[in-house]
Chains A and B, each alone.
Chain A
Amino acid sequence: MNFFRVIKGKNAWIFSGMIILTLFSIVMSITFGPATITSNDIFQCVVNECASPMHDMVIWQIRIPRVLVGLVAGMGLACAGAILQNVTRNPLADPYLFGIISGAGLGATIATLILSEEQMLALPLAAFLGALFSVIIVFGIATLLRNMNHLLLTGVAVSFMLGSISHFILYLGDPFATNRVIFWLMGSLTRVEMFHFYLISIMVLLTLVTIFAFHRQIDALLLGDESAASLGVNVDKLRIILLALCAAVTATIVAYCGGIGFVGLMIPHIVRQLVGVTTMPLIVGSALIGGCFLVWVDVLARSALSSVEIPIGIITSAIGSIFFLAIMYRTRKTG
């Protein structure tokens, strides 16, 4: 099995560490939250029966879905970032650079301003469609330009274009709705349910399975398009499949969690320091670290301030950027 081949040698220890950290994070994070419930109560609730229906509701309908969605969303974003960075051979590639977040923002804007009812259903759907729309435009333009290397630049341009449309609509719209859209874009896990966990899990699993199937070809891409082609890899086709996959995963996550920046850019860079650039260990490592990261960020988001939640995107960007700079500084000195 490919997976076991990854976990051998010095990587074995690193991966065992990551898996233990992930499991530990899942269990520990359930104990944090604004409602005062003791660890003992939570243990009772999970293993046996809850002490009160209030505990039951808080733990099973709020906290566990949040932790699980945080885990898979972090996994998905980090994987998508890692895949994009390897596929485009661009260390700055990030799932949001396709204009996904601005596309989702446009969808959310339209849904918020036009439909006041049924927002639970309409908003994620509109955000998803908006994200997909932006990806299709980006792909379309890059195909027209006959240069997939321009994909990221196209993404930046489309991102600004869709952003300006959203801003124009918001400018004409109701201030309250504007406020909601802006804060929606900052990301949050407060509205998630178990259903979202299943949906995002399926997308993340699909991504991982695809990577397991194609990891050798992606490694070949790292050598350059010509070298990969000479090794028998259908470069364009592979790239399209992987980019589409990343777009789908990110769009699904954005639809339910809003904008969570920096995870896809930062986590793969950290993991690369630990396990190297080869696709398989990089993707598995990114998934584990990305999942842990978002779970803990959400703990901070829901329990750092006593009376309000902090939008999760603010924390990921704040921690992410500092951590990222620190890592770059360290590698500069040693490397």
Chain B
Amino acid sequence: MKLMHYFIVFFLCFTFTVTANESGTEITQNKPRIIALAPHIVEMLFDIGAGEQIIATTEHANYPLSAREIPRIGNSLRIQLERVIELQPDLIIAWQSGNPSDDLARIKQLGFNVVYSQPDTFDDVAKELRLFGKLSGHSEQAEKVANKFLSDLAKIKQQYGQKKPLTAFYEVWSRPLTTIAKGSWPQQFLDICSISNPFYQSDARYPQVNIEQILQTHAQIIIQPLSENQAAREGYTWQQWPILPAVKHQQIIKLDADVVHRMTTRSLNALNDLCQQTDISRQYYQRG
């Protein structure tokens, strides 16, 4: 079982690969030098024009292209303290749940300025964009990016929020079958696209479920985010369960996991994509 958790975390790490419009890079004199300890932080900083100020990051921060050039000083499990000291950053932005807390505590103890990032919702993304803008000296651009993000989000909410709910099974991982529940990042996508999740009330945020339980849900759609970055990632073979309406009517929505599970402005693209595809399924069921 622990292997499975390990997979999920790795899967999430892989999918937090970063993308952003390369913002106009300003001259970064008198701007704080930043160590960004997660790919989503790197992306947000590039989004607000502070990409040039990043002096180090962790593995998997591979977008935008210039992010690949940033020196690596660790991964989600271990940060190289000596390198942090050597680089003498003005600011360290850490991912609260994704970085090793003992290393972060040690870094703080050594007197470095550590700020935490923990975007659990879309609103958090906007909040953190503004926060990073303030910290990196790019308040103005951050404000613009955050406002655009929120207004785009509001538009999608308005467009799809009141539709007739469809029941869906969200497949985070196929072996073992793992889904999402309240409090998880993808759950917001379902909420906004008017999709009801039969496993919403589970205790864990990413519960493992049995196929028997899924057959009882009468799921009308199956959402299957797949990542191109992972060779071993295979979707569940739903074809053998035509008793599920989603399988019978072939309403399986495939998403790009790299975009969905990324806590940045780009996640709205995935949100829009999911809502649109769900709407097509909705029309299909209404016709039938």
Chain B interface size, as a band, is 35 or more
- Name the distance in Å between B37's Cβ and chain A's nearest Cβ: 13
Query: Contact: B82 with A179, CB < 8 Å?
Result: no
- Whether the pair A62, B2 counts as a contact (CB closer than 8 A) is no
**Could you tell me the distance between the alpha carbons of A307 and B68 in the complex, rounded to whole angstroms?**
13
Interface status of A20 (Cβ within 8 A of chain B): no
Does A175 reach chain B (CB closer than 8 Å)?
yes
- Contact among B71, B72, B85, B105 for A57, CB-based, below 8 A: B85
Interface string of B88-119 (1 = CB under 8 A from A): 10000000011011110110011000000000
For residue B198, CB closer than 8 A to chain A, the reply is no
Does A226 interact with chain B (Cβ within 8 Å)? no
Residues of B within 8 A of A190 (CB): 78, 81, 102-103, 106
Interface residue stretch chosen among B3-11, B143-151, B161-169:
B3-11
For B56, the closest partner residue in chain A by CB is A307
Report the bound CA distance from A120 to B101 in whole Å: 8
Smallest CB–CB gap between B284 and chain A, Å? 34
Interface: A182 (CB within 8 A): yes
Report Cα–Cα, A230/B203, bound state, in Å. Answer: 62
Residues of A within 8 A of B77 (CB): 179-180, 183
Task: Report Cα–Cα, A178/B71, bound state, in Å.
Answer: 27
Residues of B within 8 A of A34 (CB): 73, 80, 82-83, 86
Q: Does residue A35 face the partner (Cβ distance < 8 Å to B)?
A: yes
Chain A residues with Cβ below 8 Å from B71 are 307
**B105 surroundings in chain A (CB, below 8 A):** 119-120
A contacts with B, residue count (CB < 8 A): 35
Beyond A174-B97, A307-B73, 8 additional contacts (C-beta under 8 Å) are: A34-B86, A171-B2, A176-B9, A178-B6, A190-B102, A302-B80, A308-B78, A309-B80
Do A188 and B86 touch across chains, with their CB atoms under 8 A apart? Answer: no
* Cβ–Cβ < 8 Å partners of B75 in chain A: 307-308
The reply to whether B82 and A58 contact each other, CB–CB distance below 8 Å, is yes
A-side contacts of B273, CB under 8 Å = none
Closest-by-CB residue of A relative to B207 is: A172
Which A residues from 42 to 81 make CB contacts under 8 A with B?
A: 54, 57-58, 61-63
How far, in Å, is A232 (CB) from chain B's closest CB?
49
Q: Say whether A54 contacts B6, CB under 8 Å.
A: no
A216 close to B (CB within 8 Å): no
Is A33 an interface position by the 8 A CB rule? yes
**How far, in whole Å, are A35 and B59 apart by their CA atoms in the complex?**
18
* Bound Cα distance A180, B99 (Å): 9
Say whether B139 faces chain A, with CB atoms less than 8 Å apart: no
Contact flags A150-191 to B (C-beta < 8 A → 1, else 0): 000000000000000001001111111011101100001011
Separation of A172 and B85 alpha carbons in the complex (Å) = 37
Q: Check if A2 is an interface residue, CB within 8 A of chain B.
A: no
Q: Quick one: which of A58, A170, A176, A308 contacts B98, CB cutoff 8 A?
A: A176
The reply to whether the CB of A123 lies closer than 8 angstroms to some CB of chain B is yes
Task: Select A188's contact among B8, B78, B88, beta carbons within 8 Å.
Answer: B78
Q: How far is the CA of A151 from the CA of B80 in the complex (A)?
A: 40
1/0 per residue B56-84: CB within 8 Å of A? 00010000000000011111111011110
Instruction: Indicate if the CB atoms of A63 and B82 lie closer than 8 Å.
Output: yes
B160 at the binding interface (Cβ < 8 Å): no
Whether A172 touches B203, Cβ cut-off 8 Å, given contacts A34-B80, A178-B2, is: yes
Instruction: Flag whether B205 is at the interface (Cβ < 8 A).
Output: yes
Chain A contacts of B204 at CB under 8 A?
A: 172-174
Would you call B14 an interface residue if the criterion is a C-beta within 8 Å of the partner chain's C-beta atoms?
Answer: no
Give chain A interface residues in 171-218, CB to chain B under 8 Å.
Answer: 171-176, 178-180, 182-183, 188, 190-191
CA distance in complex: A208, B252 (Å): 67
Nearest B-chain residue to A166, judged by Cβ: B2
Determine the distance from Cα of A309 to Cα of B103 in the docked complex, in whole angstroms.
12
Does A36 make an interface contact (CB < 8 A)? yes
- Docked Cα-Cα span, A168 to B206, in Å, equals 15
Expressed in whole angstroms, the Cα–Cα distance for A176 and B8 within the complex equals: 9
Please indicate the chain A residues that have their CB under 8 angstroms from the CB of B231 in the complex. none
Is B211 part of the contact surface with A, judged by Cβ < 8 Å? Answer: no
Q: Which residues of B contact A61 (CB under 8 A)?
A: 110
For B1-42 the 0/1 string (1 means CB < 8 A from A) is: 110011011001000000000000000000000000000000
Instruction: Verify A170–B5 contact, CB threshold 8 A.
Output: yes
Contacts of B101 in A (CB 8 A): 116, 119, 180
| Chain A residues positioned under 8 Å from B82 (CB to CB) | 33-35, 58, 62-63, 302
Q: How far is the CB of B180 from chain A (nearest CB, A)?
A: 12
- CA A176 – CA B204 in complex, angstroms? 12
Name, among A33, A36, A309, the residue most crowded by chain B CB atoms within 10 Å (CB to CB). A309
A170 with B103, Cβ < 8 A, contacts A58-B85, A179-B77, A309-B80 known = no
- A119-B81 contact, Cβ under 8 Å, with A54-B88, A171-B1: no
> A35-B86, A120-B102 are known contacts. Are A179 and B5 too (CB-CB below 8 A)?
yes
Question: B102's contact among A36, A116, A123, by CB below 8 Å, is which?
Answer: A123
Contact B86 A54, beta carbon cutoff 8 Å: yes
List the B side residues contacting A167 at CB < 8 Å: 1-2
